[in-house]
Amino acid sequence: MSSADIWPSDKIQSLFGVQHPIIQAGMVWTSGWKLCVATARTGCLGMIGAGSMKPDLLREHINDARNALAEGTPFAVNIPLLRGDVKELVQVCLDEHIKIVFTSAGNPALFTETFKKSGAIVVHVVPTAKLAKKCEERGVDAVVCEGTEAGGHNGVDEIPTFVLVPQVRDAVQIPVIAAGGIADGRGIAAALALGADGVQIGTRFAATQEASSHVRFKQAIVEAGETDTVLSLKNIGPTRMIKSPFALKCAEFEHRCASTEETRELLSQKRERAGMFEGNWEEGQFEAGMGVGLINDIPTVEQMVNRLLEEYHIAQMRIAGQQG
Amino acid sequence: MSSADIWPSDKIQSLFGVQHPIIQAGMVWTSGWKLCVATARTGCLGMIGAGSMKPDLLREHINDARNALAEGTPFAVNIPLLRGDVKELVQVCLDEHIKIVFTSAGNPALFTETFKKSGAIVVHVVPTAKLAKKCEERGVDAVVCEGTEAGGHNGVDEIPTFVLVPQVRDAVQIPVIAAGGIADGRGIAAALALGADGVQIGTRFAATQEASSHVRFKQAIVEAGETDTVLSLKNIGPTRMIKSPFALKCAEFEHRCASTEETRELLSQKRERAGMFEGNWEEGQFEAGMGVGLINDIPTVEQMVNRLLEEYHIAQMRIAGQQG
């Protein structure tokens, strides 16, 4: 079956030069060159997440990905704009002639022009239709609209994917990529029905063999059920996490209206690294989306993407009325 | 086009004897006999919401609906189980031989057997897959799984529709009705792609000519955008409302960790009636779902349902790959 037969829109495939409009999200301590390469080989868009990398390490990962992939295979780099050394990360992407950049957690006005001038495609991650419109005005090539189901950093307005996608679709002309809570092929079909041209998937890619995160993190995703994530740290920057001891402590702080200072102190140790990279369940932070309840194994990326495509096809046939 | 051609499942149509698997939600001060009748005439399932009715008034509405509809036309009654006089409401339904009962906001074990013995079909509204499973064990005929996008009373776990529906689908064999954030035909297609057999729609039905609520409430729905609802009153019973002055006060109370007593006092006046029935913007409570951002007019139910069906058909064709 050719790509054109199964996808309702070819905008994402054309924009990035990929076979499937499925994008592996940039995730701290998780999406290094191995995950990016494994994803790129399935015909989806792989991404190196710079969020947990110093500039030199990002350069290494970019080179490792290039060396592993056939020449010209597209892949992307994600830069969270809240990073203190964001300019250096941007410079690495420019030096390395990165062709696809996803910016997130910040103002799209900051670097879009810089990247566009370098010839790169720029995608920005937004939590509202209002910001999607602003991105379009700023010349961004596509938006990821990320619902509050998503793991990690999250919008303050807590708009879920189901209502966010159609509102973003109505607000902009540029391609729309849905994210947040998409963990199986039914979710892909639903996102496209809501008006998206493609999907970005995080947590489902984190629970794969090739993700660079600690196996304890992957197991925690598998074990977590429908009520096992919490959106917390709202007075610093809303973050969705698995309900580990640290996350429950954050939630408790919030419940009793602890001060921002107190929460910052709790957070001050390197919680993300301790959790997702070192697998320290007691002390660490484990960022994951609400899709955890739909994830029950740790396959290879290839196995997982094949399953996504099969599930998508079944959901597509179901909606098309070709099955009871 | 016959119903069988456009819907992927006929479980809801068979269960209720309706043409379309679209259910108008029971809503306080909004879903009286007129809305129920207008909905039933479109081939969807109309519902009288007993939540804001004394037992005698419920009986009146049931009789008015029966008198207006052709004999045998199916319609339902919704009973929120948290009502102090819930036994009297149940008795009215039994006396009047109501054939379809939706119970919500409470324990499905309470009245399911009573209604089943009377020959009625019983549907219960749930916010988690765990409770859906419990409903199935208790003999409930179908579940409405309602995401946190929904207006009014809401689950404490804040699970959105996008991840709730597939988890409920995987947890039970009985028919699954998706609710929360569904306000256009794209949402219907997405809900079915996620595994639902049908949908329950609230706020979109509230903004119609036939809803019994005050026009100020309907206008507030039309005016509200993507960030204009808030889930508040979490220490009493989470409730999603339009950000009216009262709702903003509730949110402020929550933000400063006000006591439950203080919040109860704020709530003590008849806020729901003042808002949705009397149209008092300053003092009243206006319960609506996050679909408000997708609602821009106040049509008749017939016009609105026709539009839902057209939009659904377009989304269905899009997913089926029959369009660019």
Q: What is the DSSP string of B77-121?
A: EEEETT-TTHHHHHHHHHHTT-SEEEEESS-TTTTHHHHHHTT-E
**Which residues does chain A have within 8 Å of residue B181's beta carbon, measured at their own beta carbons?**
160, 162-163
Q: What is the DSSP string of B247-267?
A: HHHHHHHHHTT--HHHHHHHH
User: Could you read off the pLDDT of A228-278 as tens digits, one per residue?
Assistant: 999 999 989 999 999 999 999 999 999 899 999 999 998 877 999 999 999
**Inter-chain residue contact B180 with A194, CB threshold 8 Å:** no
Closest in B7, B184, B320 to A166, CB measured: B184
CB A103 within 8 A of CB A123: yes
Q: Residue B111 pLDDT more than 50? A: yes
Q: What percent of chain A has pLDDT over 70?
A: 98
- Rounded to an integer, the average pLDDT of B51-68 is 98
**Inter-chain residue contact B193 with A161, CB threshold 8 Å:** no
Alpha helices by DSSP H, B118-160: 129-137
The owner of tokens 């006000």 is B258
CB B16 within 8 A of CB B100: yes
> Judging by DSSP bridges, how do beta strands B121-126 and B142-146 pair with one another?
parallel
Per-residue confidence (pLDDT) for residue B4, from 0 to 100: 53
**Inter-chain residue contact A321 with B163, CB threshold 8 Å:** no
Give B242's Cβ-side CA count (13 Å radius): 29
Interhelix angle A185-193/B301-319, rounded to 10 degrees, is 130
φ and ψ at A257, to 5 degrees?
Answer: 55, 45
CB B35 within 8 A of CB B301: yes
Q: Which of B1, B3, B6, B163 to mutate to test the interface with A (most CBs of A within 10 A)?
A: B163
Furthest-apart CA pair in chain A: how many Å?
57
Q: How far apart are CA A93 and CA A70, in angstroms?
A: 19
CA distances from A83 to A62, A181, A209 (A): 19, 25, 28
Q: Residue B99 pLDDT more than 60? A: yes
**Inter-chain residue contact B319 with A7, CB threshold 8 Å:** no
The owner of tokens 């959106």 is A231
Per-residue confidence (pLDDT) for residue A324, from 0 to 100: 40
SS3 A171: helix
Q: How far apart are CA A116 and CA A210, in angstroms?
A: 31
Chain A / chain B CB contacts < 8 angstroms: 164
Q: How far apart are CA B190 and CA B45, in angstroms?
A: 20
Helix, strand, coil percentages, rounded to 5, for chain B:
45, 15, 40
- pLDDT confidence band for B238 (50 / 70 / 90): very high
Question: Which class does domain A3-212+297-319 fall in?
Answer: alpha beta
What letters, b where the CB count within 10 A reaches 16 and e where it falls short, cover A118-150? bebbbbbbbbbbebbbbbbebebbbbbbbbbbb
Q: Which of A20, A257, A319, A322 to mutate to test the interface with B (most CBs of B within 10 A)?
A: A319
- pLDDT confidence band for B324 (50 / 70 / 90): very low
**Which residues does chain B have within 8 Å of residue A190's beta carbon, measured at their own beta carbons?**
162, 189-191, 193-194
Q: What is the DSSP string of A61-79?
A: HHHHHHHHSPTT--EEEEE
- The edge-to-edge listing of strands for the beta sheet with B239-242 is B152-153, B239-242, B229-232
Q: How far apart are CA B129 and CA B164, in angstroms?
A: 7
Q: How close A101 gets to chain B, by Cα (Å)? A: 27
User: Could you read off the pLDDT of A112-169 as tens digits, one per residue?
Assistant: 999 999 999 999 999 999 999 999 999 999 999 999 999 999 999 999 999 999 999 9
Per-residue confidence (pLDDT) for residue B105, from 0 to 100: 85
Q: What is the pTM of this model?
A: 0.97
Per-residue confidence (pLDDT) for residue A106, from 0 to 100: 87
CA distances from B20 to B13, B70, B100, B291 (A): 6, 18, 16, 21
Closest in A167, A290, A321 to B294, CB measured: A167
**Domain boundaries defined on chain A:** 3-212+297-319, 215-291
Q: How far apart are CA B225 and CA A129, in angstroms?
A: 10
What sign has the CA pseudo-torsion A237, A241, A246, A250?
A: positive
CB A47 within 8 A of CB A23: yes
Predicted-complex ipTM score: 0.97
Q: How close A113 gets to chain B, by Cα (Å)? A: 28
CA distances from A268 to A216, A236, A244, B319 (A): 22, 12, 17, 46
**Which residues does chain A have within 8 Å of residue B189's beta carbon, measured at their own beta carbons?**
190, 193-194, 319
- Rounded to an integer, the average pLDDT of A8-31 is 97
**Inter-chain residue contact A147 with B159, CB threshold 8 Å:** no
Q: How far apart are CA A114 and CA A53, in angstroms?
A: 21
Q: Which two tokens stand for residue A102?
A: 């996803």
Per-residue confidence (pLDDT) for residue B106, from 0 to 100: 87
Q: How far apart are CA A77 and CA A111, in angstroms?
A: 14
Closest in A6, A183, A186 to B321, CB measured: A6
Alpha helices by DSSP H, chain A: 3-6, 11-16, 33-40, 55-68, 86-95, 112-117, 129-137, 161-171, 185-193, 203-206, 215-223, 245-255, 260-267, 271-272, 301-319
**Inter-chain residue contact A319 with B192, CB threshold 8 Å:** yes
Q: How far apart are CA A296 and CA B156, in angstroms?
A: 24
Q: How close B117 gets to chain A, by Cα (Å)? A: 31
Burial class (CB in 10 A: 0-12, 13-18, 19+), B80: buried
Q: What is the CATH number of domain B11-212+296-319?
A: 3.20.20.70
Q: Residue A4 pLDDT more than 60? A: no
> Judging by DSSP bridges, how do beta strands A239-242 and A152-153 pair with one another?
antiparallel
**Which residues does chain B have within 8 Å of residue A321's beta carbon, measured at their own beta carbons?**
5-8, 316, 320
Residues 6+ apart with CB under 8 A from B261: none
CA distances from B55 to A23, B60, B303 (A): 54, 9, 32
